[in-house]
A and B are shown apart, each in its own frame.
Chain A
């Protein structure tokens, strides 16, 4: 489980995150939703340790990340998998090299063992046989799936996904969403997904937090989302014609 307590973040004069407190549950897909510029990416970057929060604490299973020694932080990082918006695959490496990279850097496994694990992960994301392809030869959806394979290769306890469906067609988005949900349940990991895609929310949202102007305005499940009378949340949720018509019906 990951817990944030009274998180604040400033960029110069700009107050980006304001007194955020929330719990991200284990074995569930936790969604952070909100419009662009609301502070979602900043929050996720704080959670993975790319940014430091100015005040408050980030607790990984009860341990404050900011209080950890560098060795503890390093071992925590090995338990974190991250799926970036664009995939962030290493351009000069093949699919296999991309996935094998964390194993090479942090384990003493033999080449055969590493390859077995890579093939297992590729099979898990339905991309068997793509080992020798370069990222430039992959479609957007395939890149995302390779990135998921790389994120899970070290068997992480925590999975972070930043806008996993950006730039994907609705059909591929569903494939990615389902994969994230399945992996979360299969390995009982804490997954945090950053999105503004309402289809994703309906597909995989279990524990949802709505961020507006750097503050958590609403938390709950996707079922409660439509019943809420929170004005800002309703503006966000029912922004599209599709959801407006759903509301009417």
Chain B
């Protein structure tokens, strides 16, 4: 319990330093653009591939479980849509990004810590926490929602292809996709994603920033970043779902 409180305390002290006005806007903007590429653009490929195949599998499994002939075929489209928008795209993609982006953030900052690059920034008088972490948080908050929306679209293409292989016609599938569509689901997914983006980037940065020792500790920090980000994402997923949908 004391350890948890210590981590929480250090996390909030770090966040206080992170959320301060950047020293030089031109340098800050440059960092943000760099991070948008690292955190966002470089994750596009994995998001597209995973979303396509998971979408396909969701529709095939739904079709496979609909043994009752009274159930209309368009339910495949409907079920795929809702599972992708409500859960897979925001939560599962965020968990995947916690693995990819989170570990990369923690190892990058951790390596900078153990090789004294962060000390070099501090000695110069640069607020290292803000200079290194804030652009990562901004990049994640800006780009994760795009990734999630792309994931929804690609997931549905995958679901359509999966549906075709399970004898669901395009017309049935599209009818199911549009059937009683509630646009609030998209808002719900985006709100969740924004929270998850903040969690992944800030928690991973925390573990990287407080790395002590050498390369083994950098590896440990990276693992911890993924594990704790994932647990916190799942916890907040439960709370946010309760708050937004219940």
Q: Which residues of A does B touch, CB under 8 Å?
A: 48-50, 73-74, 77-78, 80, 82, 84-86, 88-92, 101-102, 104-106
Contact = CB atoms under 8 A, between A and B. Distances in A.
B124 A88 contact: no
B116 A77 contact: no
A49 B117 CA distance: 15
Interface in B92-129: 111-112, 115-117, 119-120, 122-126
A42 to B, nearest CB: 13
B115 to A, nearest CB: 6
Contacts, number: 50
B27 A84 contact: no
A84 B26 contact: no
A78 B117 CA distance: 17
B123 A49 contact: yes
B60 to A, nearest CB: 43
A105 B27 contact: yes
9 contacts: A77-B123, A77-B125, A78-B125, A84-B119, A84-B120, A88-B120, A101-B124, A104-B24, A105-B126
Contact of A90 (B24, B27, B117, B122): B117
Contacts of A49: 122-123
Nearest to A80: B123
A86 B124 contact: no
A104 B116 contact: no
Interface string B14-33: 00000000011011000000
A105 B123 contact: no
A84 B26 CA distance: 27
A50 B123 CA distance: 7
Classify the interface of chain A: helix, strand, loop or mixed.
loop
Given A104-B27, A105-B27, A86 B123 contact: no
8 nearest A-B residue pairs (beta carbon): A77-B125, A88-B116, A88-B120, A84-B116, A82-B123, A74-B125, A88-B117, A48-B123
B120 A82 contact: yes
Contacts of A82: 119-120, 123
Interface of B: 23-24, 26-27, 34, 111-112, 115-117, 119-120, 122-126
A105 B116 CA distance: 19
Contacts of B122: 49-50
B125 A106 contact: yes
Contacts of B123: 48-50, 77, 80, 82
Nearest to B125: A77
Contacts of A102: 124
B117 A91 contact: yes
Nearest to B120: A88
A113 to B, nearest CB: 15
B23 to A, nearest CB: 6
Contacts of B27: 104-105
A105 to B, nearest CB: 5
A150 to B, nearest CB: 8
A101 B26 CA distance: 12
Contacts of A104: 24, 26-27
A88 B115 contact: yes
A143 B119 CA distance: 17
A67 B76 CA distance: 70
A172 to B, nearest CB: 20
Given A77-B124, A105-B126, A50 B119 contact: yes
Given A84-B120, A91-B117, A102-B124, 17 more contacts: A78-B125, A80-B124, A82-B119, A84-B116, A84-B119, A86-B115, A86-B116, A88-B116, A88-B117, A88-B119, A90-B117, A92-B34, A104-B26, A105-B124, A105-B126, A106-B124, A106-B125
